[in-house]
Amino acid sequence: MIRKKLLSEVLGHEFDSFTYNKESSDIRIVVDNNYSPIYINIYELAHKCKEWALNQDNCFSIVSGKVPNNYFCVVQYSFQWLGKDGYEEYFTEDTEPEAIFKACQWILDNKDKA
């Protein structure tokens, strides 16, 4: 599942907590205990994650899809400041959103390493 820090980055604000309901495919986000929670569908969130990746210094793009028995996600990136032309990281998970979240977490963990 997506981590709190990545969810905050993708949605653009801090929040108190979140929970995932597998039956409805919704994530319930509590921004402040004094207000009603926000709900976002996991597939909509996965799309927002792909958009977030594209906005990270314009050097990341995510391609995802299905292969037999699981889903894959490829992060294609170019670290011009490292003197590399381009590189790819591959991730697999049981669901496409999970693969995307895993890839975006990798971007979050590695985007500032120079």
Q: In the numeric block, which tokens belong to residue 54?
A: 């594209």
Of all residues in the chain, what percent carry a pLDDT higher than 70? Answer: 89
pLDDT(19) > 50: yes
pLDDT(5) > 90: yes
What mean pLDDT is predicted for residues 16-39? Answer: 88
What mean pLDDT is predicted for residues 64-81? Answer: 81
Domain boundaries, the chain: 4-110
Residue with tokens 């590399």: 84
**Distance from C-alpha of 55 to C-alpha of 73, rounded to nearest angstrom:** 17
Task: Kindly list the strands in the beta sheet with 17-21, ordered across the sheet, starting from the edge strand earlier in the chain.
Answer: 17-21, 26-30, 38-41
Q: What is the pTM of this model?
A: 0.84
Q: Show the DSSP H helices in the chain as ranges.
A: 4-11, 42-54, 96-110
